[in-house]
Amino acid sequence: MLLSMEHLRKEYPNGKIAVDDFNLEVDKGEFIAFIGTSGSGKTTTMRMINRMLNQTSGTIKIDGKDISKMDPVKLRRSIGYVIQNTGLMPHMTIQENIEIVPKLLGWSKEKRAEQAHKMIELAQLPDDMLQRYPGELSGGQQQRIGVVRALAADQRIILMDEPFGALDPITRESLQDLVKHLQEDLGKTFIFVTHDMDEALHLATRVVIMSHGKQVQVDTPENILRHPANEFVTNLIGEERLIRAQPNILTVSQIMLKTPVSITPDKTLDDAIDLMHDRRVDTLLVTDDNGVLEGFVDLDDINRITDGTTLISRFTNRKVFYVQANSLIGDTVDRILKQGVKNVPVVDAKKHLVGIVTRTALVDIVYDALRGAPEANEEPASPINADIHAAANHEGGDTAQ
């Protein structure tokens, strides 16, 4: 474990508790985003990692070593630090800025210069910019330097405090790509404080949601979108974002009907008609005794046969289109719609029938994703939507209700 924080607590002399019982284990190469409202303790927690603040109680360990027993100056030199508004030294050239920590560590002049050239390349900026001053660069360029400066002495952990908050959206995105690259390709570990949920979800491998000094939820972006821990998290993420994310986080099993009407091949045509009549469906899925999907029969096939004792296996359609229960809606919905089938059976890994997806359910998902209307699941929100529902119901029938 690269970094571990146990029972961290920060209490100010005036009695205000900024951080309360914070626990987190961070592995090498992780990208942790701290997010929360202002005053949630996210920046305070981050600043305790390089001892810009000292915790009231609890321990922080890096590589198993308690940082409170280290020299804070040495500790800080080993941890990258990026803040909003860059923190570049205005009276130093870009090269001198990049070389600050290497110089503090006593690197030779040649080694420092070599590193500066390497870093400016990493920042994807022209080499001659090294001789310029921060004031001559745009905000985005300055922060690129701010980011690579934090790696100039081969720091493994980089702390970032709302580094892109002051940048316009396009510049911000290109910087996000830069840090993502540093994390994924160079294996750097980032602790990133932000109040921008899109940024957190986009960059982080794990998101730490904080409120009033406490951790509310710690999980991957996918899991947080899928299972927000409570109303606070839902609000923080925003209904809009949750709905838009649905196709990419919902699995087929979450929208399928779990009671597909099925029949075994040894039954007869009469049995099939009875079952259809009882359950008010026009299609039956055919499974063997173990529940493995074999095919389907529908009303058209049954109509053409007059002998009621014919075995189901004789007229089963074996060309059946099905989907896996654990596949994502986003990946599946196009395929389902293109097939032009009314209903799609859902199977598990061993092809056991576990459910059925109707076109109605798909319409809801597509509609929600496009329009962002959460109530559409329950009832149509607009006349147009009502038409779609009606059409879907009409087309899909009551197959498996």
Tokens of 109: 């002049």
Q: Which of residues 136-155 bind other proteins (CB under 8 A)?
A: 136
77 binds other proteins (CB under 8 A): yes
Q: Give DSSP secondary structure letters for 49-102.
A: HTTSS--SEEEEEETTEEGGGS-HHHHHHTEEEEETT----TTS-HHHHHTHHH
Distance of alpha carbon 325 from alpha carbon 56, whole angstroms: 49
Note whether 67 binds other proteins by CB under 8 A: no
* 106 contributes a contact to other proteins by CB under 8 A: no
Cβ distance to other proteins smaller for residue 53 or 373: 53
Given candidates 81, 164, 192, 367, which one binds other proteins under the rule CB under 8 A? 81
In angstroms, give the least distance from the CB of 46 to other proteins. Answer: 11
349 binds other proteins (CB under 8 A): no
Match 């008609």 to its residue by tokens. Answer: 273
- Footprint of other proteins on residues 43-62 (CB under 8 A)? 50, 52
Task: Work out the burial of residue 324: count CB atoms within 10 Å of its CB; fewer than 13 is exposed, 13-18 middle, 19 or more buried.
Answer: middle
- Window of 6-14, 68-76, 195-203, 278-286 that interacts with other proteins by CB under 8 A: 68-76
Contact flag: residue 90 with other proteins (CB under 8 A): yes
Q: Which is nearer to other proteins, 91 or 181 (CB)?
A: 91
| Token pair 């980032």: residue | 190
CA torsion angle for 297, 299, 300, 301 (degrees, to 10)?
A: 40
- Residues 96/89, Cβ–Cβ less than 8 Å: yes
Query: CB 202 → other proteins: shortest distance, Å?
Result: 25
Structure tokens at 14: 């005036």
Show the binding pattern over residues 218-257: x = contacts other proteins (CB under 8 A), - = does not: ----------------------------------------
Residue 137 vs 203, nearer CB to other proteins:
137
d(CA 132, CA 130): 6
Whole-number minimum distance, CB 170 to other proteins, in Å?
A: 24
Pairing verdict, β 57-62 and 3-11 = antiparallel
Window 11 to 50, contacts with other proteins (CB under 8 A): 50
192 lies in the site for other proteins, by CB under 8 A: no
Only segment of 5-13, 69-77, 122-130, 288-296 that touches other proteins (CB under 8 A) = 69-77
Q: Is the Cβ–Cβ distance between 328 and 346 less than 8 Å?
A: no
Are 126 and 146 in contact by the 8 Å Cβ rule? The answer is no
Contact region for other proteins (CB under 8 A) — 62-70, 100-108, 253-261, 267-275? 100-108
Instruction: Give dist(CA 36, CA 112) in Å, integer.
Output: 38
Position 65 contacts other proteins (CB under 8 A): no
Tell me the site size for other proteins, rule CB under 8 A.
27
| Site of interaction with other proteins (CB under 8 A) | 50, 52, 73-78, 81, 83-92, 100-101, 104, 133-136, 159
